[in-house]
Chains A and B, each alone.
Chain A
Amino acid sequence: MKNGEPSKPTSSKKQYPRVYEKVIPIALVILALATIFVLLVIAAVVLGIFPGSG
């Protein structure tokens, strides 16, 4: 509903092929989490929690 008007029952939003529609958002979430993990490891190296830096 917008401004009191009923929304249209059809959608013109484009979609990727079905398999990609399912896989891509999962991959994005996993990659985001993996990136955070790596950044935390690098931060731990900077702070001296890990034994070395390379």
Chain B
Amino acid sequence: MTFTNTVVPFISSIVSLVFAVIIFKRYADRRGKHLLIWGIGMVFYGVGGFSEAYFGAFGWNSLIFRMWYLFGAILVAAWLGQGTVYLLAKRKWANALTALLILGSVYATFRVFTAELDPTLMTSSVHTGSELSGHAIVTSGIRTLTPIFNLYGTVALVGGAVYSAYIFWRKRILLHRTLGNLLIAVGALAPAFGGAFSRFGIPGALYLGEFFGAILLFAGFIRATVPMKNTEPQPAPTPAGD
């Protein structure tokens, strides 16, 4: 048990779940499917973090592992990205993609909860076994689902946030939304970078990436939804000598 594989993911989980409650409250006040789906995505984020903390504190448990892999490794990015799709795409396309995502999620749930597991395999390759790893899954075909969901989630969530920030910046409007989207993009990339460094054998990289990701996503959402004072765009200064 170390600080990095117990306390860090536990804090990530708490931050994610508090964030989810705030999003759901906003959804109750204002509606908007993007808020509902982001809220669901942040609940998944919280479940993933809780599962990591549980494994760090108490050791292997097959149910906890399946919850971690399904919600934390496969579904979270795609669902968060789907929320962004509702902001940027036409409603009929967003609804169609949501239907596909729900079908894919049901399929992934079935595969993960019927998979054969072997926790000793988590120490294979560069993984030390101190963190959860998909290497424990013996059944073939399940781990290939993960990059497919994550590819979609990354393109939608990070791409959507960067695109939105660019549009606001180009028009020089709503500075708080420009900054909020930049923070959301960084926050969405943090777990992906953590996962990449984890593949290179850096211990704790994934959990730290998720920790900073949760905080930056939260901060970005707050920044994007609360206008800034005294930062309204100003006319460009007149050229000297005019």
**A residues in contact (CB < 8 Å) with B:** 9-17, 20, 24-25, 27-28, 31-32, 34-35, 38-39, 41-43, 45-46, 50-54
User: Does the CB pair A54–B235 fall under 8 Å?
Assistant: no
A15 vs B236: C-alpha distance in the bound complex, in angstroms? 6
Q: Which residues of B contact A28 (CB under 8 A)?
A: 162, 165-166, 169, 182
* Contact flag A32-B162 (CB < 8 Å), given A52-B133, A54-B73: yes
Interface-located stretch among B27-35, B148-156, B218-226: B148-156
CA distance A51 to B134 in the complex (A): 11
Number of residues in B with C-beta < 8 Å to the partner? 46
**Which A residue sits closest to B125, measured CB to CB?**
A51
Q: Is the interface of B mostly helix, strand, loop or mixed?
A: helix
Q: What are 5 A-B pairs with beta-carbon distances under 8 A? A: A13-B172, A13-B235, A24-B178, A38-B154, A42-B151
Q: Is the CB of A35 within 8 A of B175?
A: no
Contact B150 A42 (CB under 8 A): yes
Interface residues of B (CB under 8 A from A): 69, 73-74, 125-127, 133-135, 143-144, 146-148, 150-151, 154-155, 158-159, 162, 165-166, 169, 172-173, 175, 178-179, 182, 185-186, 189, 192-193, 195-196, 199, 231, 233-236, 238-239, 242
CB of B147 within 8 A of CB of A46, answer yes
